[in-house]
Amino acid sequence: MGSGLRVFRPGLVDYASGWRLQQAVADGVRSGEAPALILLEHPPTYTFGTRVTAEHLLLSEAACAARGIEVHRTNRGGDITFHGPGQIVGYPIIDLRALGIGARAYVHALESMLIDVLARFGIAAATFGRNPGVWIGDAKIAAIGVRISRGITTHGFALNVNTDLSYYDGIVACGLRDVGVTSMQACAHAAFEMRDVEDEIVRVFAGEFGFKGVADGVVAAT
């Protein structure tokens, strides 16, 4: 593509504020601003995608609230998933029409990017049949759920780095029974510096999608 990529790193952001940030950046991209990648963490949150089955939330919403877990319905694809500290959530806001790729190729590119990032930290990952995301055997390490509207992408991916995996006990993650979840920390038996992983995501993402040059964004979550 040859254009630059703006990168926003607002830190720990509640889900509603993160969604408002996505919308603001997406409005800018629709108006001709440069594509963007938002990297952040959320407080403990369960999100429902458009294909969710209510029974896949194993706790009552009152029980979630008592544990400090927010629950949000979203317009992304997929079922239910978890976001929380120690997990890098990536929201690419890009124009697929400018890239000349469709939805399926976009998801495959995100998977390839995450597999490459993990390899750079010594973790061998792969896709898993027809199930979206990135896997270590039959345990998911990164979830993908996107929305594309008039060619502009929102939502994205969630990579478990140092995530507390016990939160997944409250859901049927991505609606898939009899599979597990894992993290980089669980695979390597050591914690990772979140900034180091973010930096690698930025580098690999820019290369995967052909962006030339990376600039820090200036929009703050509100």
- Catalytically active residues are 174
**What is d(CA 138, CA 92) in angstroms, rounded to the nearest whole number?**
26
Give CA separation, 206 vs 72, 79, 83, 200, 202, in Å.
Answer: 30, 28, 24, 10, 6
**What is d(CA 113, CA 133) in angstroms, rounded to the nearest whole number?**
11
Question: H helices then E strands: how many in the chain?
Answer: 6, 12
- Residue from 70, 57, 20 nearest 40 by CA: 20
- Residue from 162, 145, 164, 166 nearest 154 by CA: 145
Cβ of 187: how many Cβ atoms within 10 Å? 18
Residue listed under structure tokens 């580098």: 203
